[in-house]
Structure 1
Amino acid sequence: MAPIRCEPLAEDALLLHVGEGIAPGTSDRVLAATAVLMRALPDVECVPAYASVLLRFDAGSWRTPGGPAPHQAVGEAAMAALASPDAASPSAREVTVPVCYGGDAGPDLAEVARLTGLGAEEVVARHAAGHYRVAMLGFAPGFPYLLGLDPVLAVPRRADPRTRVPAGSVAIGGAQTGIYPDALPGGWQLIGRTPLRLFDPAADEPAALRPGDRVRFASIDAARFDALWAEPGR
């Protein structure tokens, strides 16, 4: 296991390199490190990615007369926290995401079936049977990148990205699956849509999913989708 290393990014930011590439083991290490750092350094913003953790801090509050530079002080505090014997991983939330697959909700389902050599029903069954974990949020506020996609369902992104993908669209891009939190441009293959609201800027916790959450997809029909979409306060 490679040691964690620090890289200055800006006068108020450090990047902790935890590993390389996109892999469940690396993500486990990143999320465990993030949880430890959030507890130990509450005044530092910790943002996990696939193989790194971004630390944002107020440089002025970490600058002391005769003391180390802010980057060094934050880096040393972070490494000390990660070396603590109490650095245990938090328990993960379990979240079920309802999805209406195919049809208008998933216009690329047939193409994914063609690319994988499976029937559309088998694509849906395999996707809904997966055990996923939110590795990180990115691209747009509340967009979850989910690890755990059945390797058989890994397909290339579209050659012609859409200028507008409907909010709630569930998609596959390479070896990842994700959910568009709002109407956005995008090039992933759309296989379904959820009525779950992924991002609400007015909420106390704007993003419905957090890094580390365990996610299961539950297939619903179009009528159930419409009913859930129409619920007040959705």
Structure 2
Amino acid sequence: MGGVRVVPVGECACLVEVGDAVAAASLAAWARASGLVAEEIVPAATTVLFDGCDPAAVEAALPPMDRESLSDSGPSVRLQVTYDGPDLERVADHWGCSTDEVVERHTATDFTSLFCGFAPGFAYLGGLPAHLTVPRLESPRPRVEPGSVALADRWCGIYPTASPGGWLVIGTTEATLWDARRESPALLAPGTRVRFEVAP
């Protein structure tokens, strides 16, 4: 497979290096659906970790990469947001539009959870076009409240718990992002399609 490299990690794991987060999430979704034998399949920004597997078997089974294969593969979640974040004006200035237009663009975007990291339940949501890239704060806040909906680079994310953070917060949601009592603790597991809407 062109552009893909399989790196064995010991005898029972391997790391598959791909081009970007979309390709990583797509490969992970395919592997889970195909029944590929592995104890864990963990996508990241440009890799997928296959743990508890035969690295040679993984390499032999890899399919041609399809960047669009995630478009309808996962469950769909709609999240209500109160757009009152402290950085809403900053994003509007960066995009050269009004705060209402920021809300319109955000709610019109089809997001997909590509991988999770940083904190349990924190999903990196891809979908923003390149021209809507935003910078991080120069100095991270010591505390970002749970449920904060934020942007950084081309990512959208929601803070599942209070933590330091440097992303631009544009709103809040009351959704529970992580609950260990659920069968799938992460609400926005990789492959989940996400749409935001204005809270009533």
| TM-score, reference length from structure 1 | 0.75
Equivalent position of 1:56 in the other structure? 51
Match of 1:37 among 2, 6, 31: 31
4+ long deviations beyond 6 Å: none
Higher helix share: 1
Say which SS state the counterpart of residue 82 (structure 2) adopts.
strand
1:145 aligns with 2:124: yes
Per-residue deviation at 1:110? Answer: 1.1
Q: C-alpha separation between the residues in 2 aligned to 1:189 and 1:179?
A: 11
Match in the other structure for 1:165: 144
CA–CA separation in structure 2 for the residues paired with 1:9 and 1:168 = 36
Q: Secondary structure at the match of 2:189?
A: coil
Q: Deviations over 1:168-187 (max 9, x none)?
A: 11001011111111111110
Matches of 1:186 and 1:11 in 2, distance apart?
37
Say whether the 8 Å CA contact 1:36–1:82 is kept in structure 2. no
For structure 2, the 5+ residue unaligned runs are: none
Indicate conservation of the 8 Å contact 1:37/1:78, yes or no.
Answer: no
Within the alignment, does 1:82 sit opposite 2:67 as a pair? Answer: no
Q: Which runs of 5+ in 1 are unaligned?
A: 63-73, 222-234
- Counterparts of 1:1-234 in structure 2, within 5 Å, are 2-9=2-9, 13-19=13-19, 21=20, 27=22, 29-38=23-32, 39-57=34-52, 74-83=54-63, 91-102=73-84, 106-221=85-200
Aligned-residue CA RMSD (Å): 2.3
Q: TM-score, normalised by structure 2?
A: 0.86
Contact 1:134–1:215 (Cα < 8 Å) also in 2: yes
- Partner SS state of residue 190, structure 2: coil
CA spacing shift, 1:168–1:42, aligned 2, 3 Å: farther
Alpha-carbon distance in 1 for matches of 2:153, 2:25: 22
Q: How far is the alpha carbon of 1:43 from its aligned partner? A: 4.0
**8 A Cα contact 2:107 2:197, kept in partner:** yes
1-side partners of 2:95 and 2:87: how far apart? 12
Secondary structure of the corresponding residue to residue 187 of structure 2? coil
1:35, distance to aligned residue in structure 2 (A): 2.9
* Per-residue deviation, 1:216: 0.5
What is the rounded CA distance, in whole Å, between the counterparts of 1:133 and 1:196 in structure 2?
17
Larger Rg: 1
Kindly tell me the number of residue pairs found equivalent between the two proteins: 194
Would you say the 8 A contact 1:108–1:189 is kept in 2? yes
SS in structure 2 at match of 1:204: coil
